[in-house]
Amino acid sequence: MTPAQPKDPGPPAAGGSPAEPDPAAGNAAFDGPAAGDVSLEDTAAGGMTPFDDIYDQPDPRAYFRALGPWEYRTPHHAQGVFRRVLDARAPERDPAGSAAVLDLCCSYGFNAALLNHHLTWDDLHVHYTSPQAAALTPAELIEWDKEFYAARRRPDAVRVIGLDAAPRAISYARAVGLLDEGFAENLETAPAGPALRRAVRHTRLITITGGASFLSPRTFRPLLESVDGPVWVASFVLRTGSYQSIADCLTSYGLTTEKATGRTFPQRRFTSERERRYAVAAVGAAGEDPSGKETDGYFHTALYLSRPAADAAKTPLSALVPPA
């Protein structure tokens, strides 16, 4: 659901400044940097490679060809976290099966693919860059992918709703069966449609692995107002910017935001020295330490988890984050 701009070109790191809480604690109540926040305007002007061409193709082949050489990995890191979060929420899930995951900036449905199928991120890369895939038309690839995903469907698959500004990406994800419902809407620029509001009613988990830099409370308010029960929000956010405005919005809906402090998650390698300089400067401006992370050539993301305070007290964030 990004505004036709690149999904976060590099993952944010979860801490690293001298004042950061002890990593052994595993998480910290998020109070956000103040004076050092990096704005959306700063990000857009920061010299990141945009990759604009790959986000709204008829299928994901160009996506994997473009990002593969730069070792893009965020959905891989998110796969284990999202499964643990869903397990933690299992007693509250609707026994009728209507409870859903809402994936923001869902692109071609990769998070749904990893969550609901016996597949890894590397499996998807091999699949979409294979000679067999290259030889197919988009329509033929969709037919092949229907069988590919159906044969690998997990018995504990959950209902997934996708939201993204890219209509062709949404269409692909629906056609191959990755999304139960998909909406090509941009809530940053237009109100949520009535069908979207109805669809998200039973959402119990909102996920984000790319695009948080382009989102604001404008996206979250109509969604949270449409959900009819307690919801958790799990976001992998580039360390080059701030999550504060979104965390503040979630607080107003009764959700406490924590930031995982025990580790960061490499997103991808820099494509240029300009990207490295931008990332190092932006991370420092956001109050974090780029040493050993962005200085070593990779964008990093931080994990933020928002949920009711009672849920946070019952299940520590550290228990939901796989070891490095």
Please give the pLDDT value at position 95.
54
pLDDT band at 92 (very low <50, low <70, confident <90, very high): low
Taking phi over 0 as left and psi of -120 to 50 as alpha, with beta for the rest, 177 belongs to left
Range scoring the smallest mean pLDDT among 26-30, 149-153, 224-228, 303-307: 26-30
| Mean pLDDT within 46-55 | 87
Residues 259/26, Cβ–Cβ less than 8 Å:
no
User: Is 38's pLDDT higher than 90?
Assistant: no
Please give the pLDDT value at position 322.
82
Q: What angle do CA 229, 116, 60 make, to 5 degrees?
A: 110
Q: Cα separation of 225 and 44, whole Å?
A: 29
Q: How far is CA 78 from CA 103, 238, 256, 270, 285, in A?
A: 12, 13, 20, 20, 26
User: Is 321's pLDDT higher than 50?
Assistant: yes
Beta bridge partners of 206: 102, 233
Phi–psi pair at 172, nearest 5 degrees: -60, -50
pTM of the shown model: 0.87
Q: Comparing 93 with 64, which gets the higher pLDDT?
A: 64
Q: How far is CA 24 from CA 13, 261, 317, in A?
A: 16, 8, 12
Please give the pLDDT value at position 98.
64
| Mean pLDDT within 184-190 | 98
Measured from the Cβ of residue 138, the count of other Cβ atoms closer than 10 Å reads: 13
Residues 138/58, Cβ–Cβ less than 8 Å:
yes
pLDDT band at 25 (very low <50, low <70, confident <90, very high): very low
- Residue 302: how many CA atoms within 13 Å on its side-chain side? 30
Q: Cα separation of 250 and 255, whole Å?
A: 5
User: Is 162's pLDDT higher than 90?
Assistant: yes
pLDDT band at 96 (very low <50, low <70, confident <90, very high): low
Residues 269/68, Cβ–Cβ less than 8 Å:
no
Q: How far is CA 3 from CA 235, 241, 243, 279, 280, in A?
A: 18, 17, 17, 21, 25
| Mean pLDDT within 156-162 | 96
User: Is 6's pLDDT higher than 60?
Assistant: no
Q: Which two tokens stand for residue 195?
A: 């069908």
Please give the pLDDT value at position 46.
54
- Residue 233: how many CA atoms within 13 Å on its side-chain side? 29
pLDDT band at 269 (very low <50, low <70, confident <90, very high): very high
User: Is 141's pLDDT higher than 70?
Assistant: yes
Q: Comparing 48 with 165, which gets the higher pLDDT?
A: 165
Measured from the Cβ of residue 218, the count of other Cβ atoms closer than 10 Å reads: 16
Exposed / middle / buried, residue 18 (Cβ in 10 Å: 0-12, 13-18, 19+): exposed
Please give the pLDDT value at position 222.
98
